[in-house]
Amino acid sequence: MTKNQNHHHDDASWSYLDHDVLLLVMMQLGFVDFFAFSGVCKSWRSFAISNRKTFMASIPPMSVCISMKDNEDECCYYLKDFERRNFKPILSHLAERICVGSTCGYLVLFSRKTRNFWLVNPITRHELHFRNFPRDISVGYLDRIRTILVFSPSIPRWVFVILYENIVIYTVDKEKWNHVSSIIPILDLHFFKGKIYTLHTDRSLGELTLNWKQKREPMSLEIKNFLKPDLLRPELVSSNEKLYLIDRISKPEKILELDFGEMKWVLPEKTISEYIFFISILNPSAAIKPKSWAGLRTQYKSYDQLLDNDKSGHCMFFYRRVWYFPHDCSDVHLLDER
C-alpha cells in the first residue's frame, strides 16, 4: 500500500491498514490498550469509535476501586480489569462524593452534603447531574440504594429512578422529584428488556410504570407459584435473555428463572452453567455468558484474591462492591412505555 500510487513509494502507512486486519488486532487488545489504539491516528480513531460497541461487548466486567489521597479527604476512582491492570483514575477531586453503584454505563456518585447525584460515564466522559434529592441518606444505608437510568422516548428525556426505603423516586427534569410508594415494601429494583421490575418483601414481583401525571405504585404481576420465605437475601439478576432470582446468602447460591410464558418461577436449565454471575453489593448485578472472552473460565483461576467464586460446579459467582460493565457504555436502557 502506498499513499500515492502514481509514485513508486515503497513505504506503507499504518493508517491505511486493511480494516479486517485492524479488527483482528483490536479484538485482541485489553481495555486500557483500546484507548491507546484509538489514539494512533484519525483513521484508527474513527475505526475504533465505529466498532466500540463490538469491542466493549468482548471485555469482561471490571471492578470499581477507590484510591484515597494522602490527606484522606479526597479520593479517586479507577477500574481494574481481570489482568489486574488499573485503568487510570477516571474520577478525581471527589470530596464527599460516594460511589453507590453503576447504571447504563455510568458510575453513580452521591454527595450526602448537597444531596446531589452525579452520573459520569468513564468511557465517554459524559456527565448527568440530578440535584436536591429530597431525602437524607445515612452512610450505613448507602448499600440499600438501587438506581436505574433509562431513556423515555415519549418525553424524550433521560429518567433517573431511585429505590430507597421502599420509596421509588424518579426525576424527569433533573430538578423535580416524583415519589411512588408501595403497600408491600420493595427490596429490589431491576431493569430488564424495557421494563422496570420490583421485588417485594413477600417475594412477589411487580412492574413499575412511570406515569408523568399521577403517582402509581408498582403493578403486581400474577406469578403462578408463590416463593417460599426461605430466601434470605433475594435479588433480581438478568442476562440478555433471562430474568433470574438469586439468594446470595445460601451456599451454593439458589437460582430461579422466571418463565414468562407460564408466568412462574422454575429451576433454570442446564445451560445456566454457561453463565457467570457478577454480583455487586451495591447495584447492578448481571449474568453474562463469556463466550467471546479470551481464555474463558480458565483465566479466572488466578483471581481468587480479587473474586470469590462458587465451586459447586453449576455456576460461578464473582462478588465485588461495585462491578462496571463495559458493554453498557454503548447501550441505552430504552423504556418500553406501551
At 85, which CATH number? 2.120.10
Whether residues 46 and 83 fall in one domain:
no
CA distance 257 to 275: 13
pLDDT (0 to 100) of residue 296: 47
Amino acid in position 199: L
CA distance 103 to 146: 10
Helices (H) and strands (E) in the chain, counts: 4, 23
Domain residue limits at 34: 15-58
HSE value, Cβ hemisphere, 13 Å, CA-based, for 174: 11
pLDDT (0 to 100) of residue 305: 40
Could you tell me the pTM of the whole model? Answer: 0.84
> Which residues are CB-neighbours of 212 under 8 A, at least 6 positions away?
155, 172, 178
Whether residues 140 and 45 fall in one domain:
no
Whether residues 147 and 226 fall in one domain:
yes
| 189 in a structural domain | yes
Residue 205 main-chain phi, psi, to 5 deg: -115, 140
| 6 in a structural domain | no
pLDDT (0 to 100) of residue 171: 83
pLDDT (0 to 100) of residue 80: 84
| Residue 237 bridge partners (DSSP) | 244
| 261 in a structural domain | yes
pLDDT (0 to 100) of residue 303: 46
pLDDT (0 to 100) of residue 87: 77
Which residues of the chain register pLDDT less than 70?
1-15, 68-75, 89-95, 173-174, 212-215, 229, 291-314, 330, 338
Whether residues 47 and 137 fall in one domain:
no
Return the residue matching grid coordinates 465451586. 311
| 336 in a structural domain | no
| 239 in a structural domain | yes
Reading across the β-sheet that carries 106-111, which strands appear in turn?
A: 97-103, 106-111, 116-120, 127-130
pLDDT tens, residue by residue, 230-261: 778 899 999 989 999 998 887 778 899 999 99
| 51 in a structural domain | yes
Where are the extended beta strands (E) located within 177-326? 177-181, 186-192, 195-200, 205-208, 219-220, 234-238, 243-247, 254-259, 264-266, 276-280, 286-288, 316-320, 323-324
CA distance 24 to 58: 13
pLDDT (0 to 100) of residue 232: 81
pLDDT (0 to 100) of residue 186: 93
Whether residues 154 and 50 fall in one domain:
no
DSSP 63-80: EEEEEE-TTSS-EEEEEE
Whether residues 190 and 323 fall in one domain:
yes
pLDDT (0 to 100) of residue 189: 94
pLDDT (0 to 100) of residue 217: 84
Q: Please say whether the beta carbons of 157 and 146 come within 8 A.
A: no
Whether residues 171 and 287 fall in one domain:
yes
